[in-house]
Amino acid sequence: MKTPLLFNLDSRTIRKGKGSLVFMLGRRTERMFALVVVQTLLLSLLAGCTGALDTTVDPRATLEAYPTLIQEGEMVTLDARDSSPIEGVITTYAWDFGDGTTAETVIGFTSHTYLTYGQYTIRLTVTNDQGGQDDAIATIVVNGAPSINISMPTSVRAGDAALLDASASFDPEGDALTFRWDLNTAEDNDGDGDARNDADATTPTVLLDTSASGIINGILRVDDAAGAFALQPFEVNVTTRTFQVTWITETYEMSWDEYLDQGETWSGNITPGEIGRVMSFNAVLELDRDVAPPHDNFTLALHIVEDNYKRSIATEPGNYSTNEPARAEMADDDMNLRGEDGMYTSDSAEALLQLLLSSKESRQGQGPWVWSVIAQQSDPDAFIGELDPDPGNDWTLTVEVILMRPSLTEVAVGSTSE
């Protein structure tokens, strides 16, 4: 075991081991030894002071973000120009935008666009020329646009129901949604000069007008409560219907009987063209048999208003020996062409009937027919005085119209698809 070395300055001895080895130190040596100790202590103190002078001063970071609520795809502006280096100058501004992207600038001003909704924390780190750093943060809320989900048919036959249902649309933040349907972008229904912004309906579901065939283009706009909106265009193909047309020949008959005094006129209307295509007609006016000659003189007249068709004919005397009364007969056997059977397309049965009955080949005789009976002269007049034994007469008018009526049977061609 080693023996410790013992120093004893007071006795000016140095002992080692069991025996004492004594060195006698002079006063000069003692002073030099004390000086070394003092120098050592001073160097230690000076080293501590130098370390204090080399301490880094940190800057002060400030951050303003505006606006703090934005929509998807919008930009936020970030301003850190009020940051202070405290000492020296700021050398870098390091930006962490919170969405996985970063940037570094030499000035305290930048901007950033957020493409996805959510809440983001932006962290700014400011560094000065001494290597000091400070952080500042800001929180940005990015509002998500509504997600539109439309359930609808892409093709329907004219007149069939087409339900557009957007009730499955939703907002990422759960806000209530408002709906605005422009059901036909080819029509400017509100008259503002923009055919693509009409509010034809404001409910989640709406029935589309399919009365006319063709391609219908529309737009649905859905807004949330925080100012975000989404647009969804849609298209529906409205197809025509197909009908098998068979023409059926029918007879339309009307009759009237009245009494007219001399100078009086009777009128009555019929509209046979509403039933079918007019092919021909035959009208007979008969007067009651006179008790004595001469026969009464009446006139039968026809006016088809829309055609400006006018005809009139006077009664011819009857035969007293055979008891035939006076009568007038009017006929026309070639008014329109015969209808042709075949396949036709139209938006509806009603529209096809109107087309078939108002076409160039069947236009005559479509409007109202005005029949008139005029009592021109009732004979014989009185032979004595003012008394007239036969001031008028009874009559009967019979009108028979031959029509061709189109019978329509709808034929299913193809199918609609969702």
pLDDT digit string, tens, across residues 95-137: 999 999 999 999 999 999 999 999 999 999 999 999 999 999 9
Nearest to 230 by CA among 293, 149, 151: 149
- State in words which class domain 155-239 has: mainly beta
pLDDT beyond 70 at 32: no
Q: Which two tokens stand for residue 120?
A: 């983001």
3-state DSSP call for residue 71? strand
Nearest to 181 by CA among 227, 217, 156, 136: 217
Is the model more confident about 263 or about 289?
A: 263
Residues 399-412 have a mean pLDDT of 94
pLDDT given at position 198: 85
* Average per-residue pLDDT for the chain: 84
pLDDT given at position 418: 39
pLDDT beyond 70 at 203: yes
Nearest to 295 by CA among 350, 373, 376: 376
- Beta strand extents in 211-341 (DSSP E only): 214-223, 229-239, 241-261, 265-270, 277-287, 297-304, 309-314, 327-332
* 64-143 and 155-239 share one fold: yes
pLDDT given at position 75: 96
pLDDT beyond 50 at 260: yes
C-alpha to C-alpha distance for 261 and 390, rounded to whole angstroms: 9
- pLDDT, one tens digit per residue, over 304-319 is 998 999 999 999 886 7
C-alpha to C-alpha distance for 389 and 378, rounded to whole angstroms: 10
pLDDT given at position 291: 58
pLDDT-above-90 percentage for the chain = 64
pLDDT class of 384 with cuts at 50, 70, 90: low
The fold of 244-411 is Jelly Rolls (2.60.120)
CB 287 within 8 A of CB 262: no
Lowest-confidence pick of 206-220, 237-251, 297-311, 389-403: 389-403
Segments making up each domain of the chain, as ranges: 5-50, 64-143, 155-239, 244-411
**Matching CATH number, 64-143, of 3.40.1390.10, 2.60.40.10, 3.30.70.360, 1.25.40.10:** 2.60.40.10
Residues 72-85 have a mean pLDDT of 95
Burial readout 388-403 (b: 16 or more C-beta within 10 A, e: otherwise): eeeebbebbbebebbb
SS3 of the chain: helix, strand, coil, percent, to 5: 10, 45, 45
What values do phi and psi take at 188, rounded to 5? -95, 85
pLDDT class of 326 with cuts at 50, 70, 90: confident
Is the model more confident about 346 or about 393?
A: 346
C-alpha to C-alpha distance for 117 and 110, rounded to whole angstroms: 20
